[in-house]
Chain A
């Protein structure tokens, strides 16, 4: 079905079900219980899961398949955001033209950057993309925000003002992005007993788009084009001596992943109509690299997992503070309680980067295939345990 084999179809369905039911899955704790701070099912965070998931899926098409490590993908995210906000300013708050222009602009931008950067490979390619991204950041932050020609509005960030043209903005419309009248910030809250679940229009727009682009990425991975990209990663010499030109292949992959980043940037602006230059900074580019590696480079689902994992840590771990720790360890004797809190203190709150860093190191060292490899190992372990329980295990000869 859908031109996918059984495994890929199952994966797509699982992802679809998980994203559509995320408001339930991410809110497992009752709203006023002590564990409620671990709930991730509020609209803002769920939107971020999905948007960064899209960003990482696109990045993985370039990095996972061709092995070209771009350190400048945040530039395309930023371009997408600026393009979307300009559409809000000029046309109306409808998200469709905004997201459309975001993808197109990011695509054009990536043709330009890719054409130059892809003349080199390996570390030189990474440095070139990093340089371009930092140039874009500098342009957005200062150069393109002078009174004569204000494209980006500098450090304030680009936003919609009352005196903007907005030629299609109807009377009586709210000043917030909408999808043909459905406002992105409209949320329906469902209370079931002590639990509360939020269903947000913006989240569902992002979710449906993500399922679509995830499907597209499966098709690309399984297509002849995807095979060519893996061939480039494996052996570029053989590639050119087989009569294939690696350059247009890598450029196409670069542009596709740039357009994914632009889509993510456009959605970001659609959820919150503001675009700032910091979105283009190199830390943002580094983050998507971390997400992809943490989840599993070159796997289909890995980048989405990695994105969710990092965003969860960023938002949930950073909110734990010493008071909460004292509550948790209140059962310990006073001296020991203070000591335990003292030990854990650097890893929480603003120190969540430290926890993330340790997790990242552990994953890279022990699970080079990322979280996906971890999942596969657990799966195998459960299977093999089931077998030995049945006493039907057969030893297979090693190859």
Chain B
């Protein structure tokens, strides 16, 4: 039994069957990649996991509890954090403030009014945020305006913000999309380090095979809304069905 169990999930948009009978099991403390050609339903599946979409059929269980019908912030509080394709950070705030917000969220829950408390007396939050910035190699940027950083740094900050909440499952949606080679490699190293050092499960959606084969311990291939194969990376590489899905029948 994995930490995330997706059973017979289907989702239809009008006449388009975006997902049909998707089954997926992500093992605890592993790195699981979901790959597939464009339009395979990868992002739809991810949106069903985090509460942005509600599937028409099937069930999604996280650690034995259903996530269906819960709103994104409730699912996050259960222990699922999500990294977006384009980094979603608080652009108008400083890097330090960006890091403090998830620390508050994991300490105080979805809403707590600290209307007249002084920020700097919240020592535990400040220390935790500082430590996370050091971990992410961003301590020197703490006073920077988050929007003024490079794309790679924004991605690093976003991952750091997710980790600051100590999630049990980290979902990444094409984390290296649109990145230069050097930034991509940095991100791979960072993710490797995270999965080695922390008690965390990572599920990653990716186009870039270089990223997938450097990280994943298990791979699910999705095509036209249904999973084709789920196997170890070595077996996926030469799998005829996978080649067919990616390159067309002639291959």
- Chain A residues within CB distance 8 Å of chain B: 3, 216, 219-220, 222-228, 230-231, 233-235, 237-245, 248-249, 252, 256, 399
Task: Give the distance to chain A from B135, nearest Cβ to Cβ, in Å.
Answer: 18
Task: Give the distance to chain A from B69, nearest Cβ to Cβ, in Å.
Answer: 15
Contacts of B82 in A (CB 8 A): 241
User: Closest residue of chain B to A225, judged by CB?
Assistant: B115
Choose from B89, B105, B115 the contact partner of A244 (Cβ within 8 Å). B105
Contacts of A223 in B (CB 8 A): 114-119
Q: Is the CB of B111 within 8 A of A249?
A: yes
Choose from A219, A227, A239, A248 the contact partner of B100 (Cβ within 8 Å). A227
Does chain A have a CB within 8 A of B234? no
Complex CA distance for A191 and B160, rounded to whole angstroms: 65
Given contacts A241-B81, A242-B165, contact A216 B116 (CB under 8 A): yes
Task: Give the distance to chain B from A370, nearest Cβ to Cβ, in Å.
Answer: 17
Complex CA distance for A253 and B113, rounded to whole angstroms: 10
Q: Is the CB of B91 within 8 A of A235?
A: yes
Choose from B71, B97, B106, B117 the contact partner of A240 (Cβ within 8 Å). B71
Complex CA distance for A399 and B165, rounded to whole angstroms: 31
Choose from A220, A234, A244 the contact partner of B111 (Cβ within 8 Å). A244
Contacts of B50 in A (CB 8 A): 241
6 nearest interchain CB pairs?
A: A243-B76, A224-B114, A245-B110, A234-B92, A234-B90, A248-B111
Q: Is the CB of A231 within 8 A of B105?
A: no
- Chain B residues within CB distance 8 Å of chain A: 50, 71-73, 76-77, 81-82, 84, 88-93, 97, 100-102, 104-106, 109-111, 113-119, 122, 125, 148, 161, 165
Q: Is the CB of B110 within 8 A of A243?
A: yes
User: Closest residue of chain A to B90, judged by CB?
Assistant: A234
Complex CA distance for A231 and B103, rounded to whole angstroms: 14
Q: Is the CB of B116 within 8 A of A243?
A: no
Complex CA distance for A245 and B74, rounded to whole angstroms: 8
20 pairs, CB–CB < 8 Å, chain A vs chain B: A3-B116, A219-B115, A220-B116, A222-B118, A224-B114, A224-B117, A224-B122, A227-B119, A228-B104, A230-B93, A231-B97, A234-B93, A237-B84, A238-B161, A243-B105, A243-B106, A243-B110, A244-B111, A245-B73, A248-B110
Given contacts A234-B91, A241-B81, contact A224 B111 (CB under 8 A): no
Complex CA distance for A256 and B125, rounded to whole angstroms: 26
Choose from B76, B93, B109, B111 the contact partner of A241 (Cβ within 8 Å). B76
Q: Is the CB of A242 within 8 A of B115?
A: no
SS of A interface (majority)? helix
Complex CA distance for A148 and B101, rounded to whole angstroms: 54
Most chain B CB within a 10 A radius of its CB, from A3, A219, A223, A238:
A238
User: Closest residue of chain A to B83, judged by CB?
Assistant: A241
Contacts of A216 in B (CB 8 A): 116
Complex CA distance for A3 and B116, rounded to whole angstroms: 9
Given contacts A242-B102, A248-B111, contact A237 B76 (CB under 8 A): no
Contacts of B148 in A (CB 8 A): 399
Q: Is the CB of A242 within 8 A of B89?
A: no
Task: Give the distance to chain B from A54, nearest Cβ to Cβ, in Å.
Answer: 18
User: Closest residue of chain B to A235, judged by CB?
Assistant: B90
Task: Give the distance to chain B from A177, nearest Cβ to Cβ, in Å.
Answer: 30
Most chain A CB within a 10 A radius of its CB, from B90, B109, B115:
B115
Q: Is the CB of A240 within 8 A of B116?
A: no
Contacts of A243 in B (CB 8 A): 73, 76-77, 102, 105-106, 109-110, 165
Given contacts A222-B119, A224-B104, A231-B93, contact A245 B76 (CB under 8 A): no
Task: Give the distance to chain B from A82, nearest Cβ to Cβ, in Å.
Answer: 27
Task: Give the distance to chain A from B80, nearest Cβ to Cβ, in Å.
Answer: 9
User: Closest residue of chain B to A253, judged by CB?
Assistant: B115
Task: Give the distance to chain B from A149, nearest Cβ to Cβ, in Å.
Answer: 37
Complex CA distance for A208 and B228, rounded to whole angstroms: 72
